[in-house]
């Protein structure tokens, strides 16, 4: 079965950086679009960054544009999220998600219903 396993979260001070990883098994990430979502306590889950199928065009939420960078290594079947200039408002559980394989969609999307597969999450905590 398809599994997504995130890692790389942690506790940092404001202004710090982290790199999140998401290793995917039983499905080639080259064949689908993927994204990172986050959920802070008491808030709804929101999409923060997405990367399209294939060469992978990218899309970001306004709140993280120019601070977060999404990328993928298809040889390692792994998705990444580089976070810099972190702020306390970035504190959340971060989830990686993948769309269905070989669907007709090539572009990135931050819509939660577009995703079929989800990881368990990795916690990011930013202190001021």
- Residue 96: the pLDDT is 98
Q: Are 4 and 97 in contact (CB under 8 A)?
A: yes
Per-residue pLDDT band at 120 (split at 50, 70, 90): very high
Q: Mean pLDDT of all residues in the chain?
A: 96
- Give phi and psi for 73, each to the nearest 5: -120, 105
Q: What angle do CA 95, 69, 47 make, to 5 degrees?
A: 40
Length of the chain: 128
- Residue 79: the pLDDT is 98
Average pLDDT over residues 13-35: 97
What whole-number distance in Å separates Cα of residue 128 and Cα of residue 118? 30
pLDDT digits (tens, 9 = 90+) for 42-95: 999 999 999 999 877 999 999 999 999 999 999 999 999 999 999 999 999 999
């Amino acid at each position: 079965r398809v599994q997504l396993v995130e890692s790389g979260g942690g506790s940092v001070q404001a202004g710090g950086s982290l790199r999140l990883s998401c290793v995917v098994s039983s499905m080639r990430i080259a064949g689908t679009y993927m994204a990172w979502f986050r959920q802070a306590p008491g808030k709804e889950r929101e999409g923060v960054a997405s990367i399209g199928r294939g060469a992978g065009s990218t899309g970001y939420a306004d709140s993280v544009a120019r601070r977060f960078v999404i990328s993928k290594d298809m040889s390692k079947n792994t998705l990444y999220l580089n976070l810099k200039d972190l702020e306390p408002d970035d504190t959340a559980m971060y989830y990686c998600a993948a769309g269905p394989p070989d669907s007709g969609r090539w572009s990135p999307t931050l819509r939660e219903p577009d995703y079929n597969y989800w990881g368990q999450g990795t916690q990011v905590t930013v202190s001021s």
